Amino acid sequence: SYELTQPPSMSVSPGQTASITCSGDKLGDKYASWYQQKPGQSPVLVIYLASKRPSGIPERFSGSNSGNTATLTISGTQAMDEADYYCQAWDSSTAVFGGGTKLTVL
Amino acid sequence: EVQLVESGGAVVQPGGSLRLSCAASGFTFDDHPMHWVRQAPGKGLEWVSVITWDGGTTYYADSVKGRFTISRDNNKNSLYLQMNSLRTEDTALYYCAKDRAKFGELLSFDYWGQGTLVTVSS
């Protein structure tokens, strides 16, 4: 079965850039999406089609996808961006999520 | 405003059955595929199943195939998940989610409900 691999955790200082990676076989050939989930809340879509932002998502969130890696970049990270982030892609009509990355802003 | 409200979660014994419901509003329900996604306590997201806009096609995760059945009633703007032969590992918060795409495409989950908790325990 298809697998997506994310680092379990990472930390970033306020105002700096956070880059969260998601790896999978030929992931660049698929449409990657990213979700933000804060404690006790439902996930929120922040990037779809690898690099598109839904309305209401701040411009500091961006995405890229090439080769075997998709990347979610948060520029000028703010304290409110502290959350779990999940990548997701489709493989043979099955949705697959990465294991999630806990982003700490400190 | 898009709203997805799940219901039907409960405590059930292993081997038991449960039916989850999701009431949708604020968008053209029968334009979009709909999904169930679950999250075990303290764990990550796991996709469970999807149904196309007309109910004509369904897909399932291997972990639930043959035990769970997804369905929808477009006249009632409702999504369902029939869960049979439940196992302790099915314990999770079950989310209903709308697909951003329309009709036959599958893309991403742009709106989520608050979830309904299913606990499988003896």
> For A69-81, what is each residue's pLDDT tens digit?
999 999 999 999 9
* Six token digits for residue A65: 């996808």
pLDDT at A25 over 90: yes
pLDDT at B31 over 80: yes
User: Looking at beta carbons, which residues of chain B come within 8 Å of A1?
Assistant: 62
Quote the pLDDT of residue B51. 96
* Distance, C-alpha A25 to centroid of its chain: 17
Quote the pLDDT of residue A101. 98
Task: Please report the DSSP string for B44-100 in residue order.
Answer: -EEEEEEE-TTS--EEE-TTTTTTEEEEEETTTTEEEEEE-S--GGG-EEEEEEEES
* Six token digits for residue B106: 């599958």
Quote the pLDDT of residue A42. 98
pLDDT at A86 over 80: yes
- Amino acid letter, A83: A
Residues A33, B112: C-beta atoms closer than 8 Å: no
Interface test with A, best of B38, B47, B57, B108 (most A CBs within 10 A): B108
Q: What SS3 state is found at A27?
A: helix
pLDDT tens-digit readout, B65-117 = 999 999 999 999 999 999 999 999 999 999 999 999 988 788 899 999 999 99
Closest CB from A48, A95, A99 relative to B44: A99
Closest CB from B47, B108, B114 relative to A48: B108
Residues A100, B61: C-beta atoms closer than 8 Å: no
